[in-house]
Homo-oligomer: A and B are copies of this chain.
Amino acid sequence: MNRGKGNVSGGGGGGDRAGGRGGVNLPALRGYNEALLLDLLRSAGAPGLGRAELAARTGLTPQAVSKITARLAAEGLVAEAGRGASTGGKPRTLLRLVPQARHGVGVHLDRDRIRAVRVDLAGGVVDEWSGPLDFGAGPDLVVEAVLAAVVRVRARGAAAPPVGVGVAAPGPLDWRSGVLGPVTGFPGWAGFPLREVLETRLGLPVALDKDTNAAVAAAGGPGGTGSCVYLHVGTGLGAGLRLDGVVYRGARSAAGEFGHQVLRLDGPPCRCGGRGCLEVLCLDAVARGDLAGAARLLGEGAANLVALLDVDRVLLGGRVVAAEPCVFVEGVRAVLEARALTGEPPPVGLAVAGVAEGAAALALGPLFGHG
């Protein structure tokens, strides 16, 4: 292992990922530093960064940065982009990411639709396609649908193949093994090794994750280091957690069960067996047409979560939210404001990027050292 030679994605640590951390050898170190610089350049965005600035941020010497960026430039991932203002000496020659150098594909499997996007390294959508889907039709048909969707957005001709394909599916699923669980309403999926099947059929690395996790991966934007939660209100309630910049999935990939927190002991019974779960209360309010009330309830749940995890930002999404975005954003914000323990509550916003974009971001993750 750790024979990564010439490929940027070779970094990350090596070793078996079962259990503890792996050892680091020189190819892994090289890959890590390359990914680190790529990540910094991606975060920096348009104007670009000078080599000296990269050196200061990473703690590497300017000479090392020059060597590494030269390798990245040789691979076409990085290019010079004019000069910056002088600070009393020679002006820095700016470097920027070349977004078109590589691509990633993301696929969102919803219960009744499929959407696929192809994104460049900057996260911009280059191509997209969506169509109907019957998730309940079972693995075989859905696999074919995914393959067809990937073909539709995949670059044709001589262009390089995508770095990887990210697939976002309804939970529960085991992220480590890539195997689906008993999806609510579609128990027939339980135990299907979707990631493995897709990797074989596509011949590409596949990242399979829950839709909420994909959403929060995209929502965070590139290179985010803070903590952020995505709250989804649709058929059910779910949460995606990005803690200290990385998606948190929990010991058994089951983290994010946000809807079954009890908000009202002795409240109405929930399908989970409990009573007074946020999901029951919130969806009941939605069914009654009381969106403001639903938003307040969602806010209470969000406030519990904000207090526990001290997050930077709260993002909302899902079909119910999309119907009346402002009502939900304002309702949640008001509750967070009222329940803030100290200081400012975290800002509340709408998840702008889609789930498919998030899945693509997960597929590109290893390139930037987030895999």
Write the residues of chain A forming the contact surface with B, with a CB cutoff of 8 angstroms: 1-2, 13-16, 19-26, 29, 32-33, 36, 39-40, 43, 57-60, 64, 172, 181-182, 223, 225-227, 239, 241, 243-244, 248-258, 260-265, 272-274, 300, 303-305, 307-312, 338-339, 341-343, 346, 369
Contacts and interface: CB of A to CB of B under 8 A. Distances in A.
Given A1-B59, A303-B262, A248 B244 contact: yes
Contact of A59 (B16, B32, B181, B252): B16
B300 A262 contact: yes
Contacts of A39: 20-21
Given A24-B24, A181-B342, 20 more contacts: A15-B59, A15-B60, A16-B59, A19-B57, A19-B225, A20-B39, A20-B40, A23-B33, A24-B29, A25-B59, A227-B250, A250-B311, A251-B312, A255-B308, A255-B309, A260-B339, A261-B307, A272-B341, A273-B338, A273-B339
A1 B250 CA distance: 35
B309 A250 contact: yes
A272 B303 CA distance: 12
Contact of A252 (B20, B36, B310): B310
A102 B357 CA distance: 49
A264 B369 CA distance: 43
Nearest to A243: B248
A186 B59 CA distance: 40
Given A226-B251, A244-B248, A250-B227, A257 B60 contact: no
B310 A23 contact: no
30 contacts: A13-B59, A15-B59, A16-B57, A19-B57, A20-B36, A20-B43, A21-B36, A23-B36, A23-B60, A24-B29, A25-B60, A25-B64, A243-B248, A244-B248, A251-B310, A254-B342, A255-B310, A257-B310, A260-B339, A260-B341, A261-B308, A262-B300, A263-B263, A264-B265, A265-B300, A273-B339, A274-B338, A274-B339, A304-B304, A308-B308
Q: Which 6 A-B pairs have the closest CB atoms?
A: A250-B310, A15-B59, A23-B58, A23-B60, A261-B304, A257-B307
Contacts of A311: 250-251
A312 B39 CA distance: 32
Most chain B C-beta atoms within 10 Å of own C-beta, residue among A24, A226, A256, A342: A24
Contacts of A304: 260-262, 304
Nearest to A17: B59
Nearest to A306: B257
Contacts of A252: 310, 343
Contacts of A309: 241, 248, 250, 255
A58 B22 contact: yes
Contacts of A181: 342
Contacts of A43: 20
